[in-house]
Amino acid sequence: MRFINLKKTIVASALGLVALLGTSEVTNAQNRRDRDDQRRERRDDDRRWDQNRNDRWRVYRNGRYYDTDNRGAELLREAVRQGYQQGFREGQFDRSNRRPGNYYGNSIYRSGNYGYQRYVDSAQYRYYFQQGFQRGYEDGFNSRYRYGTYRNGVANILGNVLANILNLRQY
């Protein structure tokens, strides 16, 4: 009787081990496919940026012109958008907690590097992030939509405000 129970236990353990190893192989294969897909997507993105490299943009700020390409221009646009969204959220938070309206004292505003990618100069990114943050903070703190909109829980800066902040010119 003991021998039969021992035999059943060994067989059940062996089947469980085979099932476990088979599942991990499927998971490993899926992970490899996912990594390969991500590599292909990055390669395609790089190729797309390379194709658009000839599209040059000029940014005018503080009396100087700065040149960039499509990717740099898009990252600067994203800096303003991210700044507006973060500023709006922080402004709402300060208003709801009855704090005085002061975006200068906010650590996110001061650092200005939320969402930063090294492709563009960090000082440029910080400047545009802070421009968006300031406007978002004012809208969020004052419960108004002078510089943007708020739909489905997402704050977005208006396109004409974004264009005025960036002052991008293609050449």
Number of H helices, E strands in the chain: 5, 5
13 vs 167: CA distance, rounded Å: 69
171 vs 167: CA distance, rounded Å: 13
Q: Are the CB atoms for 81 and 93 separated by under 8 Å?
A: no
Read off the pTM: 0.67
Q: Which helix (H) or strand (E) holds 114?
A: none
- Distances in Å between the Cα of 121 and the Cα atoms of 42, 82, 125 are 22, 16, 6
Q: Are the CB atoms for 151 and 168 separated by under 8 Å?
A: no
Q: Are the CB atoms for 76 and 120 separated by under 8 Å?
A: yes
Q: Are the CB atoms for 85 and 155 separated by under 8 Å?
A: yes
Tell me the residue type at 10: I
Q: What is the pLDDT along the chain (171 residues), one digit of tens a residue?
A: 565 666 777 766 666 655 655 655 655 666 677 677 667 776 666 666 555 556 899 988 878 888 999 999 999 999 999 999 999 999 999 999 999 888 988 999 999 999 998 889 899 999 999 999 999 999 999 999 999 998 998 999 999 999 999 988 888
Q: Between β-strands 168-170 and 64-69, what pairing exists: parallel, antiparallel or unpaired?
A: unpaired
Q: Residue 103 carries which DSSP code?
A: G
